[in-house]
Amino acid sequence: MGRIHILPPEVASKIAAGEVIERPLSVVKELVENSLDAGAREIKVELDRGGRLFIRVSDDGQGMTAEEARLCFERHSTSKITSEDDLARITTLGFRGEALPSIAAVARVKLKTSPDGQRGTLVEREGERVIRFEEAACPRGTIIEVRDLFYNLPVRRKFLRSETTELTRITRLLLSYAQAFPQVRFTLRHGSREIFNYPPVRSLRERLFQIYGPELVERLVEVDFRKNKYHLWGFLSRPPAGRRDRSRQFCYINHRWVGDKLVLTALEQSYQGWLEKGQHPEAWLFLELPPEEVDVNVHPAKAEVRFKQPQEIFRIIRLAVTDILQQTMGVKPITSTSMNKESPFSPTLKDRRYSQEKEERVIRETSEVLFEARDGEVRSIFQGETQQPEEQSIVVLGQFLGLYIIATTPEGLLIIDQHNAHERVLFERYLELYQKKEFPRKSPLFPLVIELSPDQEVKLEEAQSLLQQAGFRLEPMGGRTYALQEFPDILAEEEAKNVLEAILEEWRAEKNQEKFKAILATLACRTAIKAGERLSFSRMKYLVEELLKTANPSLCPHGRPVMVKLAVQEIEKALKRR
Ligand SMILES: Nc1ncnc2c1ncn2[C@@H]1O[C@H](COP(=O)(O)OP(=O)(O)O)[C@@H](O)[C@H]1O
Ligand SMILES: [Mg+2]
């Protein structure tokens, strides 16, 4: 990194959309990237109130001279590029010279820095004004404090997300850097609590061990694939284990964490046939390629890149991942194309197009009526307006595709999603039990040991008391290890851990009452009949009857539709009987 200077206007004008500071997360991102660019070996991030009150990033990087400390707050001042040519081969995380001025414009900023640990400089700014500029004692490196974000922009301040949301996102962001730079120590503190502190290690594998524990590392396979100018390396989860969400997919292009669609799509495609439905691979994938092969100057937050040869990159990832999976698993999977082959009974494309259109319209119209129903006024879906449905007027015809229950009512045909229906029934039952304070729980013979990831632990702090109400009792065992001492009786021992993790994953910042319902909804979802399960007539009949007794038979507790109705009139219209 050279000395700081202001970019000439012809270079500055080539820089994509100005840096936007939207939230505490963006401040942390820019400051940490600066520390990494300055060659830091230790980066410490301290926050208060999810970062809206206070953010401090300290590093032991190369620091700045007094002159640089003054210049760095000017727009387009950077030490990372000089000419337009440099823009075509960026090797640093930053390059626009816009972050510090943008941050200084919306917060109170204090900078302390020294290039050698002897001469130090202190700068304090408030909005556009410098209110202090003096010599100060400071170890080698840089410390930047950002207070009262958006103090001068009350509207932006009002729209900030909740503290937990912000902290969760920042934790994930810092984990992403910790993974890309294992030789750097990363520390994160929130208020008086240390969320993590990872001492330097030599490899990604060791870093993953620090973050996620031995269980994860044991089930990873290593990728190391070179072709022409490309190098793809990292770790992947070993099938058939996967994850319900994509929270453990990290993709880096030249050490820059990007949510790159191309790479992630190639990854998911390569896993098709290896994982159960609804499961996603875990991946820490690093793609290294010559800097001129990738344009990073396309996205304001630098969260996306553009490849010169996207086709080629897609092909390489598919090749590398498929290769390693076949080596590891030793057999070929049933590929998605062979699984999704049309059944010999499906109509030809031509009549399909016709009937699909029609069907879609019918379903759309009928479902509009059906899904209008709200809590409490739901039964009206089966009749004109007021009349109560008569139970015997519903007849179960059978199961369709192992997923749906087909039933008739005098008004039409019902197609009921068996999983969503059962989920609705269980949810209400759990809610009732809970209200009667009869939510039964059990203790395993030996406590179940759970290793939480840092982001899960952040959520646990907030979720703990509600989890306890729902029957999960966790005791800390040091570090991020917990013992599950008690869990709801409706769960089998092997499920309890997974369900707890699912609850933490789905944990969102909502009102307390909603959060408790969300926990019950997850419990209901995890204990309900699965799609694909064969059901006897008596079970189907029972399920439909129970469903109709619930407060809202048309929506599952997660808000997904439970059934569609084909009204008699619609059927008659479609068949031209009317
Ligand atoms: N933590 C730091 N250590 C050393 N120098 C820094 C640090 N943060 C910022 N700088 C200097 O300030 C300049 C401006 O920073 P910034 O506004 O983020 O722009 P950019 O990172 O795009 O160059 C950087 O180019 C760098 O020279
Ligand atoms: Mg920067």
Q: Does residue 561 register a pLDDT over 90?
A: no
Looking at this protein, which amino acid is placed at residue 215?
E
Asked if 32 contacts 44 with a C-beta cutoff of 8 angstroms, the reply is no
If asked whether residues 138 and 262 sit together in one domain, one would say: no
Tokens of 515: 């959060």
pLDDT recorded at residue 15: 63
7 Cβ closer than 6 Å to some ligand 1 atom: no
Q: Does residue 366 register a pLDDT over 80?
A: no
Last residue of a domain, one of 305, 321, 337: 337
Pocket test for ligand 1, best of 1, 21, 37 (most atoms within 8 A of CB): 37
pLDDT bin (cut points 50, 70, 90) of residue 510 is low
pLDDT recorded at residue 1: 63
* Domain residue limits at 411: 345-578
If asked whether residues 379 and 315 sit together in one domain, one would say: no
Specify the 3-state DSSP secondary structure of 204: helix
Give the bridge partners for 155, in sequence order. Answer: none
Report the nearest-CA residue for atom 10 of ligand 1: 34
114 Cβ closer than 6 Å to some ligand 1 atom: no
If asked whether residues 376 and 313 sit together in one domain, one would say: no
Across 6-12, average pLDDT: 76
| Residue 124, in any domain of the structure | yes
Asked if 144 contacts 31 with a C-beta cutoff of 8 angstroms, the reply is yes
59 Cβ closer than 6 Å to some ligand 1 atom: yes
How many angstroms separate the alpha carbon of residue 341 from the centre of ligand 1? 55
**Chain position carrying tokens 């974000």:** 149
Classify the C-alpha dihedral 288-292-294-297 as positive or negative: positive
| Residue 212, in any domain of the structure | no
pLDDT bin (cut points 50, 70, 90) of residue 334 is very low
| Residue 231, in any domain of the structure | yes
453 Cβ closer than 6 Å to some ligand 1 atom: no
100 Cβ closer than 6 Å to some ligand 1 atom: yes
How many angstroms separate the alpha carbon of residue 74 from the centre of ligand 1? 11
CA 292 to chain centre: 30
Q: Does residue 433 register a pLDDT over 90?
A: no
Asked if 391 contacts 545 with a C-beta cutoff of 8 angstroms, the reply is yes
| Residue 213, in any domain of the structure | no
For position 110, which CATH number holds? 3.30.565.10
Across 526-546, average pLDDT: 86
296 Cβ closer than 6 Å to some ligand 1 atom: no
- Rounded Cα–Cα distance for residues 576 and 196 (Å): 68
Q: Per mean pLDDT, which of 40-54, 344-358, 457-471, 552-566 is the most reliable?
A: 40-54
How many angstroms separate the alpha carbon of residue 72 from the centre of ligand 2? 10
How many angstroms separate the alpha carbon of residue 172 from the centre of ligand 2? 19
| Residue 206, in any domain of the structure | no
- Rounded Cα–Cα distance for residues 346 and 235 (Å): 41
pLDDT bin (cut points 50, 70, 90) of residue 406 is very high
Across 317-328, average pLDDT: 90
If asked whether residues 401 and 530 sit together in one domain, one would say: yes
How many angstroms separate the alpha carbon of residue 4 from the centre of ligand 2? 12
If asked whether residues 422 and 517 sit together in one domain, one would say: yes
Tens digit of each residue's pLDDT (9 = 90 or more) over 59-90: 999 999 999 999 999 988 888 888 888 888 88
96 Cβ closer than 6 Å to some ligand 1 atom: yes
pLDDT recorded at residue 44: 98
If asked whether residues 421 and 506 sit together in one domain, one would say: yes
Q: Tell which atom from ligand 1 comes closest to the C-alpha of 77.
A: 14
Last residue of a domain, one of 316, 337, 358: 337
57-66, 138-147, 518-527 — which is least confidently predicted?
518-527
420 Cβ closer than 6 Å to some ligand 1 atom: no
- Rounded Cα–Cα distance for residues 394 and 392 (Å): 5
Q: Does residue 358 register a pLDDT over 90?
A: no
For position 324, which CATH number holds? 3.30.230.10
| Residue 209, in any domain of the structure | no
H-run or E-run covering 573: helix 568-574
Look over the chain and give the mean of its residue pLDDT values, rounded to a whole number: 83
Rg (CA), the chain: 28
Greater confidence (578 vs 79) lies with: 79
How many angstroms separate the alpha carbon of residue 162 from the centre of ligand 1? 29
Q: Per mean pLDDT, which of 136-150, 317-331, 351-365, 462-476 is the most reliable?
A: 136-150
Asked if 270 contacts 325 with a C-beta cutoff of 8 angstroms, the reply is yes
DSSP letters spanning 531-549: TT----HHHHHHHHHHHHH
Tokens of 19: 């840096």
If asked whether residues 283 and 318 sit together in one domain, one would say: yes
Across 348-375, average pLDDT: 36
Tokens of 150: 């958006």
pLDDT recorded at residue 394: 82
Looking at this protein, which amino acid is placed at residue 167?
L
142 Cβ closer than 6 Å to some ligand 1 atom: yes
pLDDT recorded at residue 274: 83
Q: Does residue 361 register a pLDDT over 60?
A: no
| Residue 210, in any domain of the structure | no
pLDDT recorded at residue 447: 81
If asked whether residues 431 and 315 sit together in one domain, one would say: no
143 Cβ closer than 6 Å to some ligand 1 atom: no
Nearest alpha-carbon partner for 190 in 208, 163, 172, 211? 163
If asked whether residues 493 and 430 sit together in one domain, one would say: yes
pLDDT bin (cut points 50, 70, 90) of residue 180 is very high
If asked whether residues 196 and 270 sit together in one domain, one would say: no
- Please state whether beta strands 256-257 and 249-253 pair in parallel, antiparallel, or not at all (unpaired): antiparallel
Last residue of a domain, one of 201, 232, 253: 201
99 Cβ closer than 6 Å to some ligand 1 atom: yes
If asked whether residues 446 and 510 sit together in one domain, one would say: yes
Q: How many other CB atoms sit within 10 Å of the CB of residue 274?
A: 24
pLDDT bin (cut points 50, 70, 90) of residue 176 is very high
> Which residues 6+ apart lie within 8 Å of 184 measured at CB?
36, 40, 41, 42, 43, 177, 178, 200
Q: Does residue 337 register a pLDDT over 50?
A: no
- Ligand nearest the Cα of residue 98 is 1
Tens digit of each residue's pLDDT (9 = 90 or more) over 203-224: 999 999 999 988 889 889 999 9
Q: How many domains are there within the chain?
A: 3
- Rounded Cα–Cα distance for residues 58 and 42 (Å): 8
36-40, 58-62, 278-282, 373-377 — which is least confidently predicted?
373-377
If asked whether residues 413 and 540 sit together in one domain, one would say: yes
| Residue 211, in any domain of the structure | no
Greater confidence (364 vs 29) lies with: 29
Residue % of the chain over a pLDDT of 90: 39
> Which residues 6+ apart lie within 8 Å of 249 measured at CB?
264, 267, 280, 281, 282, 283
